Amino acid sequence: MNSSPSATRPRLLVIDDDRKLCRLIADYLDPLGYDVATVHTGPEGVERATAEAWHAVILDLMLPGLDGFEVLKRIRRTSDVPVLMLTARGDEADRIVGLEIGADDYLPKTFSTRELLARLRAVTRRSVRTPATTDKETEAEIVIDRLRINPGSRTAALGDQALLLTPVEFELLLSLARAKGRVKTRDHLLEEIREREYEVFDRSIDVHISALRKKLGDDPKTPHFIRTVRAAGYMLIDPDADSY
């Protein structure tokens, strides 16, 4: 995984073949304190995104060389950098595909600059640290069987293997871990994630849980970690108390 960027000026990478739009984004964000770099093809995007440290990547879906979905897949092999998908195609099917392979948020190309800034601030909040200590940073590590979750560093590991989680996946895992042995409804999980200003919608909770299970190596039919409770929601299994 590439190293974390410094917290002086957030570094953003825009991957879009619309050069005029790239200039508009850079001209808008630069006075607001962002350092913006741009590339215009899929292969260039993969190379820059994985070779350098960024606070966030703004990624177009329609790109020459490799489309945005493939670029995102390759980024996610080595990096958990927040990715904001930028696309003229805003239907739910595309959003679900993007979420399944690791997008943090979606923004249609009809966006306003204020909406872009709001979404960007939401996805970069976890990667731009302030010196102040938050409650999460002082919260003790949560250990459940081989799973370890560190709220302060926003990291998780399964045994000796670090888990490469998106921000929403980490928030879901942390929420379930804090309530281990108790059911969290989809509505409750949805509200918790929305309170942290991530863009989520009803079906996306199931998509994120499915992705999380894959990263945990969990079989939903015989789960070791995350159990689906029919007509209720999800529960992180407490191995010390479970007798299911």
Asked whether residue 114 falls in the same domain as residue 46, the answer is yes
Distance CA 172, CA 169 (A): 5
Tell me whether residue 207 is in a domain.
yes
Q: pLDDT tens for residues 172-212?
A: 999 999 999 999 988 888 877 765 545 555 567 888 899 89
In the chain, the percentage of residues whose pLDDT exceeds 70 is 84
Asked whether residue 231 falls in the same domain as residue 172, the answer is yes
pLDDT score for 189 = 86
Token digits for 138? 């002082």
Q: How many Cβ atoms sit within 10 Å of the Cβ of residue 244? A: 6
pLDDT score for 35 = 95
Q: What is the mean pLDDT of residues 25-29?
A: 94
Q: How many Cβ atoms sit within 10 Å of the Cβ of residue 53? A: 14
Q: pLDDT tens for residues 51-67?
A: 999 999 999 999 999 99
**Pairing mode of beta strands 184-185, 233-236:** antiparallel
Tell me whether residue 58 is in a domain.
yes
Of 82, 102, 124, the residue at which a domain comes to its end is 124
Q: Is the pTM of this model over 0.85?
A: no
Tell me whether residue 73 is in a domain.
yes
Token digits for 102? 């690791």
- Across 17-44, b (16+ Cβ under 10 Å) vs e yields bbeebbeebbeebeeeebbbebbbbbeb
Asked whether residue 146 falls in the same domain as residue 224, the answer is yes
Tell me whether residue 36 is in a domain.
yes
In the chain, the percentage of residues whose pLDDT exceeds 90 is 48
Distance CA 155, CA 41 (A): 31
Distance CA 58, CA 51 (A): 16
CATH number at residue 154: 1.10.10.10
Tell me whether residue 129 is in a domain.
no
Asked whether residue 84 falls in the same domain as residue 21, the answer is yes
215 versus 130: the higher-pLDDT residue is 215
Number of domains in the chain: 2
Tell me whether residue 5 is in a domain.
no
Asked whether residue 100 falls in the same domain as residue 16, the answer is yes
67 half-sphere exposure, CB direction, 13 A CA radius: 8
Asked whether residue 114 falls in the same domain as residue 19, the answer is yes
> Residue 119 contacts by C-beta under 8 Å, 6 or more apart in sequence?
84, 105, 107, 111, 199
**Pairing mode of beta strands 147-150, 155-158:** antiparallel
> Residue 237 contacts by C-beta under 8 Å, 6 or more apart in sequence?
180, 181, 223, 224, 225, 226, 227, 244
User: Which residues sit opposite 37 in a β-bridge?
Assistant: 13
Tell me whether residue 37 is in a domain.
yes
**pLDDT above 50: residue 232:** yes
| CA proximity to 86, closest of 4, 34, 170, 17 | 17
Q: What is the mean pLDDT of the chain?
A: 83
Range of the domain at 85: 11-124
- Across 99-128, b (16+ Cβ under 10 Å) vs e yields bebbbbbbbeeeeeeeebeebbebbbbbbb
**pLDDT above 90: residue 228:** yes
